[in-house]
């Protein structure tokens, strides 16, 4: 079964440091999402890509977060500098249609900022 | 923007009983409503979804109902089993947009 791949699974970083997460969506899925899930809450969208273009980044804290999907396949989410409040699970998801229907999630990256 | 409320936040049932989780949404233009199951430390997995042109959908022990007029939808799990224990999230998506708006989740515990 095809899966969304994410790495690393766990990351501990000191505040003010830079951190990056990687996602490889299911082959052929044009739409890729980055979600942040704080413990005990539902996922919240950070950024949505359609191929290599950003469709929605209205909730992305652009002063410290950046995301790219240069070739329209895999994607990187970066935080610089990391803050204590960034500790969360960062989930990547993809789907073929761009409508949100049938979105498949990766295992996520658990970030702890100390 | 869309807002999804989910209740209850925790639910404990005996094995074999039914469980019902309810969600309401605010955007009448939303037309896609999935439910995800997330076990501890694992990814959210889509278990069932419904579109606004359908009032009910079933898949074995799981069913989802949608009331567009009242803007609420519910997940029903019958004959619950211990392996159903997990956090369940409802979500809503608007036509033409890919962003899923999630509820805060319901932690379901099924006691053997």
Chain B neighbors of A48, CB-CB under 8 A: 98-99
CA gyration radius, chain A: 13
The residues pairing with B19 across neighbouring beta strands, listed in sequence order, are B77
pLDDT band at A72 (very low <50, low <70, confident <90, very high): confident
pLDDT band at B52 (very low <50, low <70, confident <90, very high): confident
Inter-CA distances, B82 with B7, B88, B107, Å: 21, 14, 13
Per-residue pLDDT for A105 more than 80?
Answer: yes
Among B86, B107, B108, B79, residue whose Cα is nearest residue B18: B79
**Residue B92 tokens, joined:** 């809503």
A79 touches chain B (CB under 8 A): no
Average pLDDT over residues A57-73: 93
Closest CB from B43, B98, B103 relative to A107: B43
Q: In Å, how far is B91's CA from the nearest CA of chain A?
A: 9
pLDDT of residue A100: 63
Q: What is the DSSP letter of B98?
A: -
Q: In Å, how far is B42's CA from the nearest CA of chain A?
A: 6
């Amino acid at each position: 079964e095809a899966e969304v791949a994410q790495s690393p699974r766990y990351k501990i970083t000191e505040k003010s440091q830079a951190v990056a997460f990687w996602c490889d969506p299911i082959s052929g899925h044009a739409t890729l999402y980055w979600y942040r899930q704080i413990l005990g809450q539902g996922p919240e969208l950070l950024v949505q890509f359609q191929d290599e273009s950003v469709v929605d980044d209205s909730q992305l804290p652009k002063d410290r977060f950046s995301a790219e999907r240069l070739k329209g396949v895999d994607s990187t989410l970066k935080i610089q500098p990391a803050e204590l409040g960034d500790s969360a699970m960062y989930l990547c998801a993809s789907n073929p249609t761009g409508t949100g229907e049938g979105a498949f999630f990766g295992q996520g990256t658990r970030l702890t900022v100390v | 923007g869309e807002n999804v409320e989910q209740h209850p936040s925790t639910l404990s049932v005996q094995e074999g009983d039914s469980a019902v989780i309810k969600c309401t949404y605010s955007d009448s233009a939303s037309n896609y409503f999935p439910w995800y199951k997330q076990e501890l430390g694992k990814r959210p997995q889509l278990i069932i979804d419904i579109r606004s042109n359908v009032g009910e959908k079933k898949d074995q022990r799981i069913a989802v109902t949608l009331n567009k007029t009242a803007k609420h939808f519910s997940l029903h799990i019958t004959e619950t089993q211990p392996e159903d224990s997990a956090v369940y999230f409802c979500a809503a998506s608007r036509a033409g947009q890919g962003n899923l708006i999630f509820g805060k989740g319901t932690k379901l515990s099924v006691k053997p």
